[in-house]
Amino acid sequence: MTQPSVTCSVCFYTAAEPSPGFHFNIAMHGSQAEDLSGTELAAEWTFSSLQKFGQGFLKKLRGKKLPNKLLERVSEEQNASAD
C-alpha cells in the first residue's frame, strides 16, 4: 500500500496495519498548524519521558500541532489534571 498523493496540512496518513512507513502520531493543540519530529517532541517537557525508548522509537514518532477547539479543550483538561 502506498501513501496517497493528496497534500493536506492538517492530515495524518493511516493504514490498516503497520507498514515500513508506519509512524506513531500525536495530535495536539497549537495556535497554527505545525509538524514536529519525534526528537522535537521528546525535547518538550510533556513528552520528555519518551526519550527512554531510544532514538529508533523517536524516528518513528511524529506530532502535529493544530488549531482545533477539541484539541484545545483536551490540552486544557490535561494541564488542569497535572496540577
How confident is the model at residue 76, as a pLDDT? 75
The answer to whether 75 and 28 are in contact (CB under 8 A) is yes
pTM of the model: 0.64
What confidence category does residue 41 fall into, taking pLDDT thresholds of 50, 70 and 90? very high
Classify residue 41 by burial, with Cβ atoms within 10 Å: 0-12, 13-18, 19+. buried
Instruction: Give domain limits for the chain.
Output: 24-82
Stretch 34-42: mean pLDDT, rounded?
93
List CB contacts of 23: < 8 A, sequence separation 6 or more: 60, 61, 62
How confident is the model at residue 9, as a pLDDT? 62
How confident is the model at residue 1, as a pLDDT? 46
